[in-house]
Amino acid sequence: MTETARRYGGSLYELALEEGMVDEVLAQLREVLDLMKENPQYERLLAEPSITKKERTQLIDEAFGSSLWPYLLNFLKLLCEEGYISELRGCYKEYRRRYNGDHGISEAIVTSARELTEAQKAALLDKLEKMSGKKVEMICLVNPALIGGVRLDFEGKRYDGTAAERLKTLRSIIRNTTV
C-alpha cells in the first residue's frame, strides 16, 4: 500500500468516524470497488488525462450521484482530480485496516492448493477466533502451485505449511550440505 493510499484512506476513515458513518462508508466503498472490478474500463476512463478533470468528476456524479454519502462522493472526485483514482483499492485497505482495529476484527488470508471444504473453513475460523480472541474475517484463496497444505497470513505473520514451502526448505538444506 502506498503512502498516498494510507493518508487518503485514513483521512476518509477519520471523517466517517466523526460523522458516525463508518459502517455505511465501508459498505459503500466496497460497492464502488465491486463496480470498478466489474467494469475496469470505467477506472481507466476516470484516469484518462485527455479527459478534463471536470468531465471526469461529472462522470462520477452521473454514476453514483445521490446513492453515495456526499463526503464519499467528494472523496472519489478528489482522487480523480488529483490523479489518484488508481489508489482507491489501497484507500479501501487502509480504511478497512482502521475499521478492523477499532472493531476488534482480524483478517486471515488462507491459501490452499484446493478449495477447502465448509467444515475445514469452519474449524479453521473457530480455531483462529479462539486463538486471537477477536472476530476473524477469513478470505480463502486457491493456488494449485502450492501442491498441498495451507498458507495462512494472519495478524502480520505468515504460517506456511504448504508442500511447496517444504520442498523449498529441503532444496535449501540439500544445497547447503557439504559431502
Residue 155, CB half-sphere, CA atoms under 13 Å: how many?
A: 12
Instruction: Summarize pLDDT for 36-84 with one digit per residue, the tens.
Output: 999 989 989 999 989 999 999 999 999 998 899 999 999 999 999 999 9
Interior CA angle at 38 toward 34 and 42, to 5°?
A: 100
**In Å, how far from its chain's centre is CA 12?**
16
Instruction: Summarize pLDDT for 89-141 with one digit per residue, the tens.
Output: 999 999 999 999 999 999 999 999 999 999 999 999 999 999 999 999 999 99
Class of the 105-176 domain? alpha beta
CATH 1.10.520.20 spans which residues of the chain? Answer: 3-100
Instruction: Summarize pLDDT for 137-177 with one digit per residue, the tens.
Output: 999 999 999 999 999 999 989 999 999 899 999 999 988 88
Q: For domain 3-100, which architecture applies? A: Orthogonal Bundle (1.10)
Q: State the pTM of this model.
A: 0.78
